[in-house]
Every structure is written in structure tokens, then in C-alpha cells.
Structure 1
Amino acid sequence: MEKSKMVLTSALTPAQIDELRDLLMQLQTLLDPLPSLTPKQRQRLTKQGSKSQGFVTYTATLLQTNPTWLPNSLDTSRFLADYAISDRILEQCNQLRQLSDRLSDLYLLLNDSTMNEYCPRNLQPTQSPTAQSPRLKPTYPELSQRFIGQGRTANPNSLSA
């Protein structure tokens, strides 16, 4: 475990984090003109699983060898262009997802390390705060009033101070 602590603390320098932020801003600028779908719009779209992706690849192969296979009313050149871009974008999506996962893993490991190694156990949250929490007894009435003052309803079971 000692080796992983060393890797975590030296994983990214402040300069590297700044560089990462700048690169992400460049990527954001590059992707800004692209469509941004709502969750509902994404849900309505037809998804390509591995079987349907194979069917589309097979169709693209057939169209490349025999462009008259589909009726003239269908734009085969547009289909092939969309297919080629889709295939290339899939690679980028997978690569971006892997990079995002690695950065998220580092974040999770750093948080785990911070909580388990540096924060005293008696200060870590173990349950939701109530009037019975010894550390909150002096401040609980004030917190309750602030909560109620914001127009929220209080839990009647937790107000027994």
C-alpha cells in the first residue's frame, strides 16, 4: 500500500492539472458546435448494440461493393459517409471514456485516502445528524430553526432536543 500512496501524491502536479484544464477547455471549444441532446431526446433515439452494429457494417460493406443494391431513392453516399464518421467517433468516445474513468479513479482514490488516512474517525459522518448526535447538541436547535426558516418542513421525529 505504501507504493500506491506515493503514486497518488505524485500522480498529478499543479502544473499538470492546469494543463489538463486548458486541454479540456480546448476540447470543449471544439465540441461546442456539436448537438447536445437532452436525456429524453437520447432515450428516443435508436441505439446500436453489437448485433445491430454488425448489421450496419455488413450493409456498408455491401454498398461499397455494390452501390446499386439499395433503391435510388436512398442516398447511399450519405449513408457511407455517416457510417465512416460514426465508426471513427466511436473510437474517440471509447478513448475519452477510458481517460475519464482513469481521472475519476484517481479522484476516488485520493478521496478514499483523505478520508481513511487523514481525517480522524470520530469526525467522519457515520449517520445523519439528529438532536441526539453529541457533537451537534449545542448547535442543533440553531440548525433546526435555520432549516425551518428556509421554508422547509422539519422531520418531527428528529426535533426532540
Structure 2
Amino acid sequence: MSQNNVSLELSNEQLSQAAQAITTLEQAFAGLVSLAPAERRRLVKMGQKSEVFCRQALRLLAQNPQVVPPGLDLAEAQADLLALDQLAPLLDRLQRLAERGRDTEMALGADVMDAALEGYGLLRVSGRQQGLDGLRKELSNRWARRSSAEVEPVEA
């Protein structure tokens, strides 16, 4: 018996609405940046443990402007913190939606794979009697192992 982790039918209207919503989000968040992997590694990151420290430091600096040197743009740091606070709940929602999307994609793929494997098993058992042996052999390529001599070299 085939598994059915999820049943999902998406109408053209739903797909169109989703595409429009994504376009709207892309336009609304045009100021978001994309970092190269090297840039991500280089940045000093504010994690959960550092967040309290950062908030307290900015608050103390704002309360004691006499210690803030001209080269430290406190107003920009405060604006960055505000933007972070505004963006975080939206990103949390987007992340949850993306996780549900990935889980649904995985469940749909698993359902398809399960049905295909069950069907392949049926073809192996009764395919010859139905004149489907040639087609079953084509499907068996999925399970064929290649020898090292058959594997094409990867070009750099």
C-alpha cells in the first residue's frame, strides 16, 4: 500500500497569488543585502548571547554621549538595531513558511518515490507477462551501478 504523507493541489490562482506576494516582498525588502561567503565569515556576529550586551552598550552610550567619539556613529547603530527588531519577526515567519515548504516538498517527493518503487516492484513481478520487460529494464538503470571505468572523468 502506498504512503500518502501529503495531498496538495495548487490552483493557478494560488500559484499566481503566491508569485505576486513574493514579488511584493522582494520589492518591499529591496534594501536587503546579499553577502559573499567570505564576507559572512569575516563579520563579527551578534548572536543571542551578544544581543543583551549590544543593547546595553548602545543604551549606555546614548545616556553618556560625552564618551562617544566622533568616529562612532551611534545614531546609525541605533537605527540598525531598530531595523533588526522590525525585521526579525518577519524573517521568523518567512523561515517557518520556508521550512513548511521544504517539508511539504520532501513529503511529496517521498510519496512519489514510494509509489514509483511500488510500481517498479509490480513491473518486476508481472511485467514480462504484460510485455513490459523492456520498459522495466529501462527503469532498472536507476539501480545500476557503474564500474569505475564507466564513470566519466570530471573536468576542472
Shift of 1:64: 4.1
Cα pair 2:58 2:78 within 8 Å, conserved? yes
Aligned to 1:53: 51
What TM-score does the superposition give when structure 1 sets the normalisation length?
0.63
Q: Could you tell me which amino acid in structure 2 is paired with residue 119 of structure 1?
A: A
Taking CA–CA contacts closer than 8 Å with sequence separation of 6 or more, which of the two structures ends up with the larger relative contact order? 2
Q: Could you tell me which amino acid in structure 2 is paired with residue 90 of structure 1?
A: A
Map 1:131-150; keep pairs closer than 5 Å: 135=137
| Structure 1 CA distance for aligned equivalents of residues 54 and 137 of structure 2 | 62
Which digits, 9 at most, give the CA deviation of each residue in 1:51-106, with x for residues without a partner? 21111011123234444343344222222112111222222222211111111111
Aligned to 1:98: 96
Aligned to 1:149: none
Shift of 1:10: 4.2
Aligned to 1:31: 29
| Structure 2 CA distance for aligned equivalents of residues 10 and 35 of structure 1 | 34
Structure 1 13/157 Cα, relative in aligned 2: closer, same or farther at 3 Å? closer
Q: CA RMSD in A?
A: 3.4
Aligned to 2:118: 121
Choose the corresponding residue for 1:88, options 86, 89, 108.
86
Which blocks of at least 5 consecutive residues in structure 2 are unaligned?
Answer: 122-135, 152-156
| Structure 1 CA distance for aligned equivalents of residues 66 and 94 of structure 2 | 37
What TM-score does the superposition give when structure 2 sets the normalisation length?
0.64
Aligned to 1:75: 73
Which secondary structure state, in structure 2, belongs to the residue aligned with residue 68 of structure 1?
helix
Aligned to 2:13: 15
Shift of 1:11: 6.2
| Structure 1 CA distance for aligned equivalents of residues 9 and 61 of structure 2 | 48
